[in-house]
Structure 1
Amino acid sequence: MNEQQGVNGSNQLKRSMKSRHLLMLSLGGVIGTGLFLNVGYTINQAGPGGAIIGYLIGGFILYMVMTCLGELAVHMPVTGSFQTYATKYIHPSAGFSLGWMYFVGSAATAGVEFTAAGIMMKHWFPDVPVWIWCAVFMVLLFSINALSTKGFAEAEFWFSGIKVVAVILFIVIGIGVITGVISQVDRPTPHLDNLAPNLLFPAGISIIFVTMMNVIFSYQGSELVGIAAGETENPQKNIPKAISTILLRIILFYIASILILSAIFPTSELGLMESPFVTLLENVGIPFAPDIMNFVILTAILSVGNSCLYASTRLLWAMSKDGMAPKIFGEVNKNNIPFKALLFTMIFSLLSLLTSVMKADAVFVLLMSIAGISVTISWMGIALSQFMFRRKYIASGGKVENLGYRVKWYPFIPLFCITFCAAILIFLAWDPTQRIGLLYGIGFFIACILFYQIKLSKKTMITTEQEEKVEIKKQEGEENDVGDTGKVTSTTL
């Protein structure tokens, strides 16, 4: 095992995230462009009923993922999170592949978010080149992540807070419009005709499965709670608290938004709107509605970029501890930040950004395909890790009742989760528009497994059974050391 060094040790991260940071991080994780921009498109494609069922299925999958992650993260709250658990409980090649796939996808997404933020700024500054704003936001988010973990958490707290307040206000306004309390300009009060039974599934039931990748995209980011566990105060208490609100926020934000939008706008109109949220605010006569909503969307974009930089950096730091990434990325500076890992992540994100600017289509499609598929595969990895962990835990003499947080209805929850995620990937193969992304993503994952087996498998030594038994017998409630990843002992690259 990697043992924590002293206060000034080169491999130590600091538990500086407070309960409010983790709660808002988990709350804001599912509120982004997937809600503000993509939900209207999903309603247009699948109909109101199809969208509701799709997001409920996605919410159920997310609940299963997060409960599996919760059991693992409370038992072993480390920065490597699902990459660590896959390494320890499935196989090191699985941890290596999941880690690098998620890193590439997350870092590439950060680069795309920089571009998206620059494009959003053209609303206010049409004559300023997009690349200038990209550079400004890159420096801003890099500085936030480089200063301290608390700085990142504080920024994400306020980013998420703005998004949460905006969605709550939208729901209140939408209910006011539906009930007739608030009038729309040049539009009558809706009478819920759009929710008539014959309009709920205009394209049939099967289209729900085709749009599920949009749903998964909307929900991605919640797994960041696991990555942040290694730098969270009192993770045994705060992680379950964050996870317990998942279903509530899914129903409140997504399902309520779908019902409101579907009741007010015909399905055909929603497919033509850039953001139905902006349109509704304009219709009720709110001054500067486009400016307000564009600011909220810009905040959501920066929040995603901020989180992606954090997640990619911490995964790179964790993998370096197992010899799955160069040793240099395991070093931290005086502020307890893995600065070299952060710098490499930013450079990689810049390459992703350049591919979108230069329209290097093949590379850009590859990166985005990996980003889209990596979340689904990572969720499968989390569920399988929990399934294997529970089996090994019991076989080694551990008692389920002693776990600080445990999955109910084991083993059905992890097995159902794996099955649902696999079904989503299979259905992508039937959609010509998403088939190439599936092939790229699966291909990269297989390539990582082969690379590990050929180049690294002989260098890695799995943690001994004796160490696992010692870990199981640790006193419940004891705060795990961030530097003690409990994963593997290995040589470095």
Structure 2
Amino acid sequence: MSSRHLLMISLGGVIGTGLFLSSGYTIHQAGPIGTIIAYLIGALLVYAVMLCLGELSVAMPVTGSFHVYATKLIGPRTGFTVAVLYWLTWTVALGSEFTAAGLIMHQWFQNTPEWIWSALFMIVIFLTNAFSVRFFAEAEFWFSSIKVVAIVIFIIIGILAITGVIPIKGYAHAPGLHNLTANGWFPTGFKGVFTTMLTVNFAFSGTELIGVTAGETKDPGKTLPKAIHTTLWRLVLFFVGSIFVMACLIPYQQAGVTQSPFALVLNHIGLPFAGDLMNFVVLTAILSAANSGLYASTRMLWSMANEHMMPQALSRTTHHGVPFIALVISMIGGLLALFSSVIAASTVYLVLVSVSGLAVVFVWMAIAICQLIFRKKYVASGKKVSDLVFKTPWYPFIPWFAFIGSLLSCVLIVFDDAQRPALFYTLPIVVVCYVGYGLYMKLSRK
């Protein structure tokens, strides 16, 4: 992958349905000011994680990076658990993304069953990943470009509406910043800022894809730092900028998850075909997430096989360098998640979604700990920190901030009735991974 691909993948990986759909839930739960604060904290947390991952990825550029780092620096059981949780995160996402894509297409073609569109998109995404790494990267580049352009246009239109240049329904004058404090600074209480942090972190998940691509990137010593250093301003511009516009133009009581807050804003402005335009952008975001998700889950399986944690058949690649068997298994996992969303939505699928939402935060915690251990071992071996091509700044503050911030976002969901089950479902799976790895290694030696 070239620098152009990596920069857009790192940006596109984080701009998904979390921003286009679940941001409405955050505004409703935390209020306008609370949501802006939550996203700012989330952006700083993710940037800290990326700074940690940057030092590790440049020093040890391998595909499936953080799972390999956790194996070498913390222990094989932790590495295995991190890989399984991350694989599960993206595989479960595949099922939900294909379902959502079918639902959107059904709105335009109501006489065609949703499953036909879901199946069609599965084939497209599978083939995109099956041809070659460059083909995947090129497709993701254009998917991401559409999302980025759409958000920039949305922010510009929103600012014009806020300042009164464009009239908006229900307002005789420019709304300005009135909605931000119309019901007080924190209408739902300040605790809403913290209880919605898991939702915010889920919206930011995907930035760590930079690490997964490290082993298939041209000149990682140059391209990875460039992508990572632009992470913070991109998150602030696209996420916080979008949230600011929404919070100014939508009373927080109207925000939710039943309709995209982007579509709600554009409908208030009276933009023609606002619903169809946003459906197209959300469809692009969904396909982009599915494309990245299949790539990430495939590379995780390949990496586990390469580290002798899974059957060696999963490490075989085509002449284009694509781990085809791992790709097929990941797609089957996505199909099973899709079926469970229809057959056992209130049991199996609920557990899978809860675990996948929290799993990425566990991965971030592992990345921070790996960086702390790596730097300590690097210095202990007699090497100089100045010799590192990419250095995590303000060591050890940055990795500790990344670890503690991620940990708190897990613990604080105990106070949110809707999200509390995620913690109770995830912890047993972590235990099963640790025990299961030990059993697998014993059986494989016999």
- TM over 0.5: same fold? yes
Matched AA of 2:153:
L
1:42-72 Cα offsets, whole Å, 9 max, x none, are 1111011110111111111101100000000
Match of 1:265 among 244, 250, 265: 250
Once the 2 structures are TM-superposed, how far is the Cα of residue 370 of structure 1 from its aligned partner?
A: 1.9
Residue in 2 that maps onto 1:426: 411
1:365·1:437 contact (CA, 8 Å) conserved in 2? no
Residue in 2 that maps onto 1:69: 53
Once the 2 structures are TM-superposed, how far is the Cα of residue 449 of structure 1 from its aligned partner?
A: 0.9
Question: Which consecutive residues of structure 2, in runs of 5 or more, have no partner in the other structure?
Answer: none
SS in 1 for 2:20: helix
Q: Distance in 2 between matches of 1:128 and 1:458?
A: 49
Q: Distance in 1 between matches of 2:371 and 2:416?
A: 31
Once the 2 structures are TM-superposed, how far is the Cα of residue 359 of structure 1 from its aligned partner?
A: 3.0
Q: How many residues align?
A: 445
Residue in 1 that maps onto 2:209: 224
Residue in 2 that maps onto 1:303: 288
Are 2:178 and 1:215 aligned? no
Q: How does 1:86-485 map onto structure 2 within 5 Å?
A: 86-185=70-169, 187-188=171-172, 189-196=174-181, 199-271=184-256, 274-456=259-441
Once the 2 structures are TM-superposed, how far is the Cα of residue 360 of structure 1 from its aligned partner?
A: 4.6
Matched AA of 2:342:
V
Matched AA of 2:232:
L
Matched AA of 2:185:
L
Once the 2 structures are TM-superposed, how far is the Cα of residue 385 of structure 1 from its aligned partner?
A: 0.6
* 268-277 or 36-45, larger mean C-alpha shift: 268-277
Once the 2 structures are TM-superposed, how far is the Cα of residue 197 of structure 1 from its aligned partner?
A: 7.2
1:358-416 Cα offsets, whole Å, 9 max, x none, are 23532112211221111000000000011111111111112100101011111121112
1:431-479 Cα offsets, whole Å, 9 max, x none, are 22222221111111111112223432797xxxxxxxxxxxxxxxxxxxx
Q: Distance in 1 between matches of 2:345 and 2:193?
A: 32
Residue in 2 that maps onto 1:82: 66
SS in 2 for 1:222: coil
What TM-score results when the alignment is normalised by the length of structure 1?
0.87
Whose helix fraction is larger, Structure 1's or Structure 2's? 2
1:48·1:199 contact (CA, 8 Å) conserved in 2? no
Question: Which consecutive residues of structure 1, in runs of 5 or more, have no partner in the other structure?
Answer: 1-16, 460-490
Q: Distance in 1 between matches of 2:155 and 2:64?
A: 37
2:14·2:203 contact (CA, 8 Å) conserved in 1? yes
* 199-208 or 85-94, larger mean C-alpha shift: 199-208
Identity among equivalent positions (%) equals: 49
Q: Distance in 2 between matches of 1:273 and 1:144?
A: 31
Once the 2 structures are TM-superposed, how far is the Cα of residue 18 of structure 1 from its aligned partner?
A: 0.6
Q: Distance in 1 between matches of 2:176 and 2:212?
A: 45
2:85·2:360 contact (CA, 8 Å) conserved in 1? no
1:134-175 Cα offsets, whole Å, 9 max, x none, are 100000000000011011101110010000000000000011
1:355·1:361 contact (CA, 8 Å) conserved in 2? no
- CA separation of 1:358 and 1:263: change in aligned 2, threshold 3 A: same
1:273-295 Cα offsets, whole Å, 9 max, x none, are 60121122233333222111100
Matched AA of 2:321:
N
Once the 2 structures are TM-superposed, how far is the Cα of residue 430 of structure 1 from its aligned partner?
A: 2.7
Q: CA RMSD in A?
A: 1.6
Once the 2 structures are TM-superposed, how far is the Cα of residue 200 of structure 1 from its aligned partner?
A: 2.4
1:47·1:199 contact (CA, 8 Å) conserved in 2? no
Report which of the two structures shows the higher radius of gyration computed on alpha carbons. Answer: 1
Once the 2 structures are TM-superposed, how far is the Cα of residue 240 of structure 1 from its aligned partner?
A: 0.4
Once the 2 structures are TM-superposed, how far is the Cα of residue 272 of structure 1 from its aligned partner?
A: 7.2
2:91·2:293 contact (CA, 8 Å) conserved in 1? yes
Residue in 2 that maps onto 1:477: none
Once the 2 structures are TM-superposed, how far is the Cα of residue 315 of structure 1 from its aligned partner?
A: 0.7
2:26·2:35 contact (CA, 8 Å) conserved in 1? yes
2:16·2:203 contact (CA, 8 Å) conserved in 1? yes
Once the 2 structures are TM-superposed, how far is the Cα of residue 185 of structure 1 from its aligned partner?
A: 4.4
1:104-150 Cα offsets, whole Å, 9 max, x none, are 22111111111111111111011211111110000000000001101
- CA separation of 1:368 and 1:86: change in aligned 2, threshold 3 A: same
Residue in 2 that maps onto 1:45: 29
* 243-252 or 355-364, larger mean C-alpha shift: 355-364
